[in-house]
């Protein structure tokens, strides 16, 4: 009887504690003026209280008359006595909001609170109506700054930011724009591009890995160009079946995909052993080609149109080295492909603004914030990363390049010695143990 009583009492205590914690978090959310709405969401992780919020942000921080938009943010509340990780997502956040098992690496490592911020102009954070004028790096930095300053009065432990790819870039940028907002930055595989077609990726790909691996990839590309006439019926049929519409002829799309194949292989660290024998039947080579480089990437209706808009405005992107394939490829069809293929004519005359590149470069040249920056050795995005900081005698900026690593380089898949060094440094700075 006594045992049953104490069991029931313990369960009651757990329920009351969880309810009290929930009420406490919701009272906080009600006090934050920029939180226009929130809803509790369930996750597999039961150690945190999760809320999906909408934050009211100015479209143009310098001109309130331009109006506002609602930005989606997910809070994973672990406790006011724990550090906070701001996930600077560079795209839409549905994969994190809707996946009950989502858990960001740094949050897990530090057993921290999490603020996952969806980037403006993506998914549920798209302004209505959509005016692309306000989609800039500088404006997006104000978004993150506003969110951090809104929550900082309630969470007084250490704050870190982290993000992957464009989110990694966003984390790098945020530290430069608002250095006092954060104690530590941990961006993964984030580029800092200087132009629409940056120019550094092409030379990187000519030196990456081993000559044998590079030659294997180029041989496959050459074979696909040699067989183009035979492949085009298969390619056209596939695009028709998938109801893909392009702004340029499918022949040009095919060429672009063969060029893209090299970048994709190295970005994801795909072993060259996966390449079919070059004397395989057309269908074998074609099926592999489609698996590696889906033509929907260049379709007129693209799920990440917002990214391409920002790429031509102030974020930047990459180009292709067509010299090895000059006998197959028309340079005029490839150069400037981002505007012609992936965007409407509205952006034809947009000039790239490199002020963000210069501002961020200057900041990291002149300053030494606490930061752990992770890249992959064979990832082409490393070419436009900030690995040059290794040669600047920085005490606090730590650059880690995963040997043989790709765009999937993370703390926990680093070689043991590197991983331990990162975790030790993180704990020293963030004091989470």
CA distance linking residue 196 with residue 313, whole number of Å? 8
CA distance linking residue 208 with residue 392, whole number of Å? 23
Phi, psi of 286 (to 5 degrees): -70, -45
Ramachandran assignment for 393, one of left (phi > 0), alpha (psi -120 to 50 degrees), beta (any other): left
Give the pLDDT score at 23.
87
Instruction: Give mean pLDDT, residues 59-64.
Output: 98
Are the CB atoms for 217 and 275 separated by under 8 Å? yes
Residues with Cβ within 8 Å of residue 253, at least 6 apart in sequence: 239, 246, 295, 298, 341
C-alpha triplet 319, 325, 330: angle, nearest 5°: 70
Determine what percent of the chain is predicted with pLDDT higher than 90. Answer: 93
Give the pLDDT score at 278.
98
pTM over 0.85: yes
SS3 52: strand
- Least confident residue range of 86-95, 174-183, 332-341, 363-372: 332-341
SS3 190: coil
Q: What is the pLDDT of residues 183-194, one digit of tens each?
A: 999 999 999 999
Q: What is the pLDDT of residues 303-325, one digit of tens each?
A: 899 999 999 999 999 999 999 99
Q: Name all domains of the chain by residue range, CATH numbers in brackets.
A: 32-194+355-430 (3.40.50.1820), 200-347 (no CATH)
Return the structure tokens found at 50: 């999760």
Is it the case that residue 199 has pLDDT exceeding 60? yes
Q: What is the pLDDT of residues 379-406, one digit of tens each?
A: 999 999 999 999 999 999 999 999 999 9
Return the structure tokens found at 92: 């839409």
Q: Name the band, by pLDDT with cuts 50, 70 and 90, for residue 429.
A: very high
């Amino acid at each position: 009887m006594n045992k049953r009583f104490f069991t029931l009492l313990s369960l009651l205590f757990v329920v009351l504690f969880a309810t009290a914690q929930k009420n406490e978090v919701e009272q906080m959310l009600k006090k934050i003026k920029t939180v226009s709405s929130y809803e509790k969401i369930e996750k597999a992780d039961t150690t945190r209280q999760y809320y999906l919020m909408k934050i009211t942000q100015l479209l143009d921080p310098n001109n309130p008359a331009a109006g506002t938009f609602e930005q989606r943010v997910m809070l994973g509340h672990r406790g006011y006595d724990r550090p906070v990780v701001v996930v600077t997502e560079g795209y839409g956040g549905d994969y994190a909001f809707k996946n009950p098992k989502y858990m960001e690496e740094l949050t897990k490592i530090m057993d921290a609170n999490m603020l996952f911020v969806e980037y403006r102009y993506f998914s549920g954070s798209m302004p209505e109506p959509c005016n692309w004028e306000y989609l800039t790096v500088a404006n997006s930095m104000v978004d993150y700054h506003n969110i951090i300053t809104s929550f900082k009065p309630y969470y007084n432990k250490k704050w870190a930011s982290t993000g992957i790819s464009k989110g990694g870039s966003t984390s790098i940028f945020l530290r430069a724009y608002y250095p006092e907002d954060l104690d530590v930055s941990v961006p993964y595989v984030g580029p800092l591009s200087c132009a629409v077609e940056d120019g550094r990726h092409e030379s990187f790909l000519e030196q990456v890995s081993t000559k044998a691996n590079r030659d294997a990839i180029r041989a496959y590309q050459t074979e696909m160009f040699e067989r183009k006439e035979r492949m085009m019926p298969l390619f056209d049929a596939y695009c028709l079946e998938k109801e893909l519409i392009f702004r340029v002829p499918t022949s040009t799309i095919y060429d672009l995909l063969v060029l893209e194949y090299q970048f994709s292989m190295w970005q994801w660290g795909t072993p060259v052993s996966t390449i079919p024998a070059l004397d395989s039947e057309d269908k074998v080579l074609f099926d592999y080609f489609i698996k590696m480089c889906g033509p929907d990437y260049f379709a007129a209706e693209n799920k990440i149109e917002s990214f391409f808009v920002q790429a031509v405005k102030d974020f930047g992107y990459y180009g292709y080295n067509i010299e090895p394939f000059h006998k197959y490829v028309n340079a005029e069809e490839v150069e400037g492909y981002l505007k012609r293929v992936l965007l409407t004519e509205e952006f034809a005359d947009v000039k790239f603004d490199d002020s963000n590149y210069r501002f961020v470069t200057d900041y990291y040249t002149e300053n030494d914030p606490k930061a752990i920056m992770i890249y992959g050795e064979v990832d082409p995005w490393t070419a436009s990363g900030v690995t040059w900081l290794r040669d600047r005698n920085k005490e606090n900026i730590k650059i880690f390049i995963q040997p043989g690593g790709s765009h999937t380089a993370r703390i926990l898949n680093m070689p043991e010695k590197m991983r331990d060094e990162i975790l030790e440094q993180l704990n020293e700075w963030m004091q989470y143990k």
